[in-house]
Homo-oligomer: A and B are copies of this chain.
Amino acid sequence: MKTLFHAFSILILTTWPASRADAQERRHNLMPTPAEVHFQSGKLTVGASFSVAVSGHNDRRMEAGIDRAMRRLEGRIGMELKRGLATDATGPTLVIECREAGRSVPSLDEDESYSLEVTSGRAALKAQTVVGALRGLETLLQLVESDRDGHYIPSVKVEDKPRFRWRGLLFDSSRHFQPLEVIKRNLDGMAAVKLNVFHWHLTDDQGFRIESKKYPKLTGKGSDGLFYTQDQAREIIAYAAERGIRVVPEFDLPGHATSWVVGHPELASAPGPYQIERQPGIFDPTLDPTREEVYQFLDAFFGEMAALFPDEYIHIGGDENEGKQWDRNPQIQAFMKERSIKNNHSLQAYFTKRLARILQKHNKKAMGWEEIMADDLPREVVIHSWRGPESLAEAVKKGFIGLLSAGYYIDLSYPASNHYRVDPVAADKNLSRQEEARILGGEATMWSEYVSPETIDSRIWPRTAAIAERFWSPGSVADVDDMYRRLAVTSVRLEELGLTHEKNYRSLLRRMAGGKEIGPLETLVSVVEPVKQYNRGKQRPTTMLSPLTGFVDAARPDSEASRQFAALVAGFLADAPRFQTNREEMERALAKWRDARPAIEAITRRSGLRDVEPLAAELSDLAQAGLEALACLVESKAPDGQWGEVKMAILQQAAKPKPSAVEFAILPSVRQLVIAAIELPQLRGQPPLEWHKRVKTLAEVARPQ
């Protein structure tokens, strides 16, 4: 469900209103933004005497959640707080009033709402359920600020509940196995931004990652020994439940099934033998939907998994089945003919229906990728849209419930703003209110072809926090600049949970450089991003066994330096024809990039970083082009003769695919400057309005190509 992503641009609602949500009366650092938040004057001091009491319902999960929150608060304020709940007469700082435990297994119907009122004397958190209280505690922690006098929470009233009930992160443990501690710290991150579904992609062509006691050959032959025992899975389920997060397991069928058939070739639609797949992509091995033994196997297997995973849903995949093995198998062809099954899609529908019935027998509901949709499928099946919003709209119009992942593919290396602008409810699909209500929410997808335990956090965070806001907050919360401002704060706060997204890239650079002097490499890595979509695999062929310790692994999506530079350029051009705004800052940045070349090359040559070495020269040339363009604009003087052609050639060169599999994120801004330098001086003598019109069209040329 991931090789194509053509629908992405359609989803970007460029006309989204840029105004701040009404409820935001004051700059805050909350993410996701609550449904309603009203700041008041005054503040609650947060010091060593901070204490918590619970009134109404209380239980072990609540106390554990409070304890975790208090430990984080201690870390922030650098002071020890009293353990346990307050019992002293002076009155606690925070009173949590909770009505009931909520579901013992977190469910789609969990009430996650809460209200929070902070005055200068006291904080009061009210929630129907423990999970609601946990959500409120995260908001409370996000409200903590500081000034010279120490830490405090501003007086505020918050009324909050999620817009969508299903707010997930798909976590692919198949392509690259991830140890338990990686999952745990990411569950903590999810809870911090109020996500509530951990979609655990446990099987795929590249590895079968969950122990089956009934069928030990599944992991015995299909996992390289890298799998979760059932005890470990229970540990993760409990850890997630503690944080109000559901664990929805995915067993991808009937395609993406190589790892199933390595140990059980008898399930496949062709004889085998099979080996664990090491390449990324779409592969032929597919279960045989025509044999009863296959269903007997699946019945036993899903019976076991239904007992292990308490959630009411099991994801059965269903994506990207090209049916090649079916086409070539005479028995399958005969079966189809006999039953008047017209094509592979219908054959898969037959398989899905039978599988859904098996799940029903084990008291589970099925969900699957959009390809499983068929008219005679029960409407309780959840349709998971990955190719675009059309299929989701079609699903809810047909009466299915569904959720959206198209637009939230964080493995494609797009900036957070792209995902942030995608709404689970597409504005152009004319859905009725009932149809809209069938859209449960969405999931960010961390497909793991190109991530290791060392790099995965940097692919999930901080961008997923922006997606979490899209799922939780009112649709009117849509100011991209403000999102980025809060995202930077959120990103640092997420580090307190042990997440490594802000720190591991420097470790990679140090090891690449063979030492601690990595300043020049940091300069370079700050202006590049991993290539978008799945182009990495083309430019830098990588199997599932390849080391993920290259420059592209140190590079991170959504380059901050480039985004800041783009903002500088926009301000500079808007100042036409004067061209003074941001000028010096741009000159400094460009000069730094131009001049970094010798220092970068000194490292890359010493360290054998052959694929990184050419980037230094390209960066230098880009920056030089930018500086020259800037000078032309400032002096309002058209560049000489061939200048434009030469510089555009440099831009083209720098935009070419490279074995390093990174791209210059500053390139669109430099292109904008160069084209501006070519075009704008021709307007000399014309009124500013004419300049501004032309500048507006220039913003278009700056888009990534």
Binding site for B on A (CB under 8 A): 71, 74-80, 83, 146-151, 179, 181, 454, 488-489, 491-493, 495-496, 498, 502-504, 506-507, 510-511, 514-516, 543, 545-547, 549-550, 605-608, 610
B511 and A489: CB pair below 8 A?
no
A243 to B504, CA, bound (A): 25
Do the beta carbons of B502 and A510 come within 8 Å of each other? yes
Partner of A543, one of B75, B80, B488, B545: B80
Please name all residues of chain B whose beta carbon is closer than 8 Å to the beta carbon of A504 when the two chains form the complex: 503
Output the nearest chain B residue to A29 by Cβ-Cβ distance: B514
Asked whether, in the complex, the Cβ of A146 is within 8 Å of the Cβ of B514, the reply is yes
User: A513's closest neighbor in chain B, by CB?
Assistant: B492
A511, B493: Cβ atoms closer than 8 Å: yes
Task: Note all chain B residues with C-beta closer than 8 A to A77.
Answer: 547, 608
Compute how far the CA of A580 lies from the CA of B260 in the bound complex, rounded to whole angstroms.
73
Which residue in B495, B511, B545, B608 is a CB contact (below 8 Å) of A80? B545
Q: Does the CB pair B492–A514 fall under 8 Å?
A: yes
Say yes or no: B502 contacts A516, CB within 8 Å.
yes
**Bound complex: CA A606 to CA B146 (Å):** 6
Q: Which residues of chain B come closer than 8 Å to A74, judged between CB atoms?
A: 546-547, 549
Bound state CA distance, A181 and B181, in angstroms?
8
CB distance from A365 to the nearest CB of B (A): 36
Is B492 in contact with A75, judged by CB distance below 8 angstroms? no
**Would you give 5 A-B contacts (Cβ < 8 Å), ordered by A?**
A76-B549, A79-B546, A146-B514, A147-B606, A503-B503
Known: A507-B495, A511-B495, A514-B489. A546 touches B80 (CB 8 A): yes
Complex-state Cα separation, A120 to B543, whole angstroms: 29
With A550-B78, A605-B147, A608-B150 in contact, do A515 and B502 touch (Cβ < 8 Å)? Answer: no
Min distance, Cβ A552 to any Cβ of chain B, angstroms: 10
> Is B510's CB under 8 angstroms from A610's CB?
no
Complex: chain B residue closest to A78, CB-CB: B550
Residues of B within 8 A of A493 (CB): 511
- Residue in A75, A78, A491, A503 whose Cβ sees the most chain B Cβ within 10 Å: A78
CA distance A547 to B78 in the complex (A): 6
- Distance in angstroms from A545 CB to nearest chain B CB is 6
**Which residues of the partner chain B approach A76 to less than 8 Å between Cβ atoms?**
511, 549
The residues of B that contact A547 with a CB separation of less than 8 Å are 71, 74-75, 77-80
Are A610 and B545 in contact (CB-based, < 8 A)? no
Question: Roughly how many angstroms separate A546 CA and B80 CA in the complex, as a whole number?
Answer: 5
| CB neighbours of A607 from chain B (8 A) | 146
A489-B515, A492-B511 given; name 11 further pairs at CB < 8 Å: A71-B547, A80-B545, A146-B514, A146-B608, A147-B608, A148-B608, A149-B608, A491-B516, A492-B514, A492-B516, A506-B506
CA distance A147 to B607 in the complex (A): 5
A149 cross-chain contacts in B, Cβ below 8 A = 608
Residues B507 and A502 in contact, CB atoms below 8 Å apart? yes
Q: A495-B511, A608-B148 are in contact. Are A75 and B503 (CB under 8 A)?
A: no
A181 CB → nearest B CB, Å: 5
Set of chain B residues within 8 Å of A83, measured between Cβ atoms: 545
Which of B79, B150, B503, B514 has a CB less than 8 Å from the CB of A507? B503
- Say whether A549 contacts B78, CB under 8 Å: yes
B496 contacts A150, C-beta separation under 8 Å = no
Residues on the B chain within 8 Å of A79, using CB: 546-547
Note all chain B residues with C-beta closer than 8 A to A515.
488-489, 492
| Residues in chain B near residue A503, CB distance under 8 A | 503-504, 506-507
Q: List chain B residues, Cβ under 8 A from A546.
A: 74, 79-80
For A545, the chain B residues whose CB sits under 8 A away are 80, 83
Nearest chain-B residue to A550 (Cβ)? B78
Task: List chain B residues, Cβ under 8 A from A610.
Answer: 148, 150
Query: Least Cβ distance of A554 to chain B in Å?
Result: 11
Give CA–CA (A151, B609) in the complex, Å. Answer: 10
For the complex, what is the distance from the CA of A179 to the CA of B489, rounded to whole Å? 28
CA of A496 to CA of B78, assembled, Å: 30
Across the A-B interface, the 7 shortest Cβ-Cβ residue pairs:
A146-B608, A74-B547, A75-B549, A150-B608, A148-B605, A80-B546, A503-B503
A675 to chain B, nearest CB (A): 32
Which residues of chain B are near A148, meaning CB under 8 Å?
605-606, 608, 610
CA distance A76 to B511 in the complex (A): 7
Looking at the assembled complex, report how far the CB atom of A411 sits from the nearest CB atom of chain B, in whole angstroms: 20
Inter-chain CA distance A506–B503, complex, in Å, is 8
Q: A492 CA to B508 CA in the complex, in Å?
A: 9
Residues in B neighbouring A150, C-beta threshold 8 A: 608, 610
Q: How far is the CA of A514 from the CA of B143 in the complex (A)?
A: 12
Cβ–Cβ contact A510 & B489, under 8 A: no
A71→B453 CA distance, assembly (Å): 14
Give the CA-CA distance A71 to B549 in the complex, in Å.
11
- B contact residues around A492 at 8 Å (CB): 510-511, 514-516
- Report Cα–Cα, A328/B546, bound state, in Å: 67
Residue of B nearest to A146 (CB): B608
Of the candidates B488, B502, B608, the one whose C-beta lies within 8 Å of that of A151 is B608
The docked-state distance in angstroms from the alpha carbon of A695 to that of B612 is: 47
Question: In the complex, which residues of chain B have a beta carbon less than 8 angstroms from the beta carbon of A502?
Answer: 507, 510, 516
> Inside 8 A of A543's CB, which chain B residues have their CB?
80
**A514 contacts which chain B residues (CB < 8 A)?**
146, 489, 492
The complex places the Cα of A489 from the Cα of B504 at a distance, in Å, of 18
Chain B residues within 8 Å of A71, by CB: 547
- For the complex formed, measure the closest distance between the CB of A506 and the CB atoms of chain B, giving whole angstroms: 6
A549 to B147: give the CA distance in the assembly, Å: 18
Shortest distance between the CB of A73 and any CB in chain B (Å):
9
A503 to B502, CA, bound (A): 10
Closest B residue, CB atoms, query A517: B488
CB distance from A205 to the nearest CB of B (A): 18
Q: Which chain B residues lie closer than 8 Å to A495 at the CB level?
A: 507, 510-511
Name the residue on B nearest A515 (C-beta).
Answer: B492
- Taking the closest CB of chain B, its distance from the CB of A502, in whole angstroms, is 7
Collect the chain B residues with CB atoms within 8 Å of residue A181's CB.
179, 181
The complex places the Cα of A550 from the Cα of B150 at a distance, in Å, of 14
- In the assembled complex, the CB of A72 is this many whole angstroms from the nearest CB of chain B, namely 9
